[in-house]
Amino acid sequence: MPEETKEFWRWSEKVWRDESIDWRGSRAITAGIDVGSVSSQAVILADGRLYAYHSTRTGSNSPDSARKALNGAMAGADMSQEDIRYVVGTGYGRVNVPFANRAITEIACHARGANYMVGPSVKTILDMGGQDCKVIRCDEKGKVQNFIMNDKCAAGTGRGMEVIADALGVPIEDIGRRSFEIDEEPPPVSNVCTVFAKSEATGLLKAGWSVNRVLASYCAAMAERVSSLIERMSVEPDFFITGGIAKNEGVVRRIERIIGIEAVRLPADTVLDPQIAGALGAALFAHALLKKEQKASAQA
C-alpha cells in the first residue's frame, strides 16, 4: 500500500444537515452547486430554507465533482436526484454541471448567498476562492451592482496560500491561528509573485525565522495584496468575506487593519460556512426560478 501523502493545503470536507426538517413535506426542493477550482459545494433548500450542504474537493472532472458534492449533501437523507426540482450550477465549472437547469455566475451567487447569511445590510463582499479573488458591491436585495476581480495572478488568491501551506507543511486550517503566535508583527514578505514568495519564505526559515513568523509575514503580504484590490472599489459596510480565505483569521484581521473596516463575523454557533456562499446563492436562485416556473404553469 502506498502511503498517502498528507495534503496540507486543502480545507477539510464538511457535511451538514438540518435534522429538524422533513424534506418530504416540502413542495420545493432546490439545489445550488458551486464547482470551484479547488473545492465544490452543494446546498439543498427545502421550500427556500437551508436543509443540507456538503463541501468536497474538486477532482479533475467537473461533472463528477458536481455529482459528488450533491450526493454528499443528499447522503443520509434518503433523497435522490429526482427529488430535486431545480438545480443551478455556479463557479468555475458551472457549465459542466450536466444535471443543472441553469448556470449563473458566481459573482451573482456569492452576493445572493452573502445577503442570505448576513442580511440586507451587507453591501460589499470579498470572495476569495481557490484561483481568484473578487470584490462585489451589491444592494440590499443581494443584487450585484459592480465588481472587480483578479483571476490572472495566484498572489492574492487561495492558491497562493495553499502553496505556502504545502511548502511549510502547515495545515491550511492552522495558518490563521499560528500567524498570531508571534512576539512582534514581522514585515510582509517582499515578493508579490507566489513563486518568488515561496523561495523567500524558505529563505526566511533558513535565516532562522520561526514557521509562525513566516506565516505572519506571508499573511500580511496577502492582506496587502487583497486590500489593494478592495481599495480600488469603495468599501461600504457591511463588509462580508466569503470563500475559503474567510476562515483564515490571519489574513482577515490583517485586511481589516489595512482598510480600517471590520468584516461581519457569523455568530459562533452558526451552522453556516462562508465557503458555501456561492452554492447557497445558487440554491436560492434555483428556488426563485422554480417558483416562477410553477407560477407560469399555474397561469397557463
Partner 1 sequence: MIVAGIDIGSKNIQVVVLEDGTVAARVSVASGFEQEESARKGIEEAAAAAGVTPADIEYIVATGVGRKAVAFTQHQVTEVAADAKGAFALNPAARTVIDVGADEARAIRIDATGKVIDFAVNEKCAAGAGAFVEAMSRALEVSLRRFGEISLESTESIPMNAQCTVFAESEVVSLIHSNTAQKDIAKAVHDAMAGRVSAMARRAGLENEVVIGGGVAHNVGFVRALKDTLGVGDLHVLPEPEYTGAFGAALIAAQKVAEGVPALNPQA
Q: Work out how close the CB of 210 gets to partner 1 at its nearest, in angstroms, rounded to a whole number.
A: 17
Nearer CB in complex with partner 1: 9/147: 9
Residue 203 binding partner 1, by CB under 8 A: yes
Q: How deeply is 22 buried, as exposed, middle or buried, from its count of CB atoms within 10 A (0-12, 13-18, 19+)?
A: exposed
Cβ-based neighbours of 66, under 8 Å, separated by 6 or more: 33, 35, 40, 42, 89, 93, 96, 97, 98, 99, 100
Residues 50-89 that bind partner 1 (CB under 8 A): 60
Residue 206 binding partner 1, by CB under 8 A: yes
Nearer CB in complex with partner 1: 193/271: 193
> How far is Cα 178 from Cα 260, in angstroms, rounded to an integer?
23
Which range binds partner 1 by CB under 8 A, 41-49, 108-116, 202-210, 284-292? 202-210
Q: Work out how close the CB of 207 gets to partner 1 at its nearest, in angstroms, rounded to a whole number.
A: 7
Residue 131 binding partner 1, by CB under 8 A: yes
CA distances from 160 to 203, 230, 243 (A): 17, 17, 14
Nearer CB in complex with partner 1: 5/297: 5
- Interhelix angle 194-206/158-168, rounded to 10 degrees, is 30
CA distances from 111 to 76, 105, 280 (A): 30, 10, 10
For 128, the 3-state DSSP assignment is strand
Residue 296 binding partner 1, by CB under 8 A: no
- What are the cell numbers at 7? 495534503
Nearer CB in complex with partner 1: 61/234: 61
Residues 18-37 that bind partner 1 (CB under 8 A): 37
Alpha helices for the chain (secondary structure H): 62-74, 106-118, 158-168, 172-178, 194-206, 211-230, 249-259, 277-299
Binding characters for partner 1, 144-163, by CB under 8 A (x = yes)? --------xxx----xx--x
Q: Which residues pair with 46 in a beta bridge?
A: 29, 49
Using the rule CB under 8 A, which residue among 95, 145, 196, 234 binds partner 1? 196
Binding characters for partner 1, 160-179, by CB under 8 A (x = yes)? x--x----------------
Residues forming the site for partner 1 (CB under 8 A): 37, 60, 131, 152-154, 159-160, 163, 191-196, 199, 203, 206-207
